[in-house]
Amino acid sequence: MHAGLKVTAFAAALAATFGTAYGVGRGVDPVVANEAPASPHDGHSGESPTPEKGGGRAGRASASAVGGLQVTEGGYTLDLRTPRVRSGRQADLRFAIRDGNGRAVTAYRRDHDKELHLILASRDLVTYRHLHPTRAADGTWSTPVNLPRAGGYRVFADFTPAGRGAENLTLGADLAASGPYEAQPLPAPNATARTDGYEVELAGKPIPGAAGELKLTVSRDGVPVTDLQPYLGAYGHLVALRSGDLAYLHVHPGGEPGDGVTEPGPDISFTATAPSSGIYRLFLDFKHEGRVHTAAFTVRSGGPTATEEPADGHQH
């Protein structure tokens, strides 16, 4: 995954660094969408957070460069063998990571208990999946998916090949879901979100060219949640996607459960640096009482952009 456990700064034109936490669903999906997916797995609620009230947890953050804009990078290629699926129907999504010689990679460095993390997001950033596929001996990865709506999606493979000096990579490829299509507007900016009965409040926003703090606070029924559970080595995980190009920003918190410093809620703090203005969707995953939940936020970094709707509700 794009992450180190120390805060760093990046000034690449297409990079936005989010010191955050990385939340992952084993096998299938935390989901943010208007429709709930079929058969959620491993404690994921499968429900769709509705922007309302928000929250988080505390800890220092690590940084990650932007990724997912290329299908080939650093000598590795994302070979998406299932480029099309049917919306509303379960399908087996298959892919491989190939090296410079075209061979499927079969050795990976484990990061947060996984060899590879897979993100699926619709181009309108309404639907979100965080998956953990299974790797066969020949290097082919597969996972069941059921996308609720027709349209364009982006697949992100976040991994580190095994080997001395290997670097983390996030490769991206396009996926099409067929069926009747209805365009969805980008969700309006929000500082609070509600998911599965939990309220998550977001304080702060990424600042172009400067490090800023994002603090999320988790509560339920008005009571702060102080017993978040470890999930893949952390109490919370955050993925950020930039509206427009779907630049992928994904990092881990610096604190770890059991380190004697990091508290299990209700606050989660991250450091964020955005080198450019833009609209971002933030997806926070956290685990409580044996289930993983996802809270989604839309935030603006810097001044107004063409992707944000004006007050009159008309898109420019």
Q: Which of these three, 116, 148, 178, is where a domain ends?
A: 178
- Those residues of the chain that have pLDDT short of 50 are 2-29, 34-64, 305-316
CATH (domain of 82): 2.60.40.10
According to the model, what pLDDT value does residue 127 have?
A: 95
Whether residues 210 and 238 share a domain: the answer is yes
Tokens standing for residue 156: 């992100």
Classified as helix, coil or strand, 84 is strand
Whether residues 204 and 259 share a domain: the answer is yes
**198: which residues sit within 8 A by CB, 6+ positions away?**
55, 218, 219, 220, 225, 288, 293, 295
Whether residues 116 and 250 share a domain: the answer is no
Whether residues 144 and 196 share a domain: the answer is no
Number of domain units in the chain: 2
Classified as helix, coil or strand, 58 is coil
Q: How far apart are CA 159 and CA 172, in angstroms?
A: 12
Please report whether residue 311 resides in a domain. Answer: no
According to the model, what pLDDT value does residue 162 have?
A: 95
Please report whether residue 174 resides in a domain. Answer: yes
According to the model, what pLDDT value does residue 152 have?
A: 97
Q: Are 136 and 142 in contact (CB under 8 A)?
A: yes
According to the model, what pLDDT value does residue 62 have?
A: 36
Q: What is the mean pLDDT of the chain?
A: 78
pLDDT per position as a tens digit, 8-59: 333 333 333 334 333 333 344 455 554 433 333 343 433 334 333 333 333 3
Whether residues 169 and 276 share a domain: the answer is no
pLDDT per position as a tens digit, 236-265: 888 889 999 999 876 556 578 888 888 999
Whether residues 213 and 264 share a domain: the answer is yes
Q: Which of these three, 155, 178, 201, is where a domain ends?
A: 178
pTM, 2 dp: 0.76
Q: How far apart are CA 53 and CA 227, in angstroms?
A: 19
Q: Which residue has the tokens 């082919």?
A: 140
According to the model, what pLDDT value does residue 54 have?
A: 34
Whether residues 117 and 247 share a domain: the answer is no
Query: What backbone phi and psi angles, to 5 degrees, belong to 234?
Result: -150, 165
Please report whether residue 12 resides in a domain. Answer: no
According to the model, what pLDDT value does residue 32 have?
A: 58
Query: Could you tell me the end-to-end alpha-carbon distance of the chain, in angstroms, rounded to an integer?
Result: 36
According to the model, what pLDDT value does residue 186 have?
A: 93
According to the model, what pLDDT value does residue 103 have?
A: 98
Q: Which of these three, 124, 151, 178, is where a domain ends?
A: 178
* Per-residue buried b or exposed e for 53-91, using 16+ beta carbons within 10 Å of the residue's own CB: bbbbbbbbbbbbbbbbbebebeebbbbbeeeebebbeeb
According to the model, what pLDDT value does residue 253 have?
A: 64
Please report whether residue 249 resides in a domain. Answer: yes
Please report whether residue 307 resides in a domain. Answer: no
Range of 100's domain?
72-178
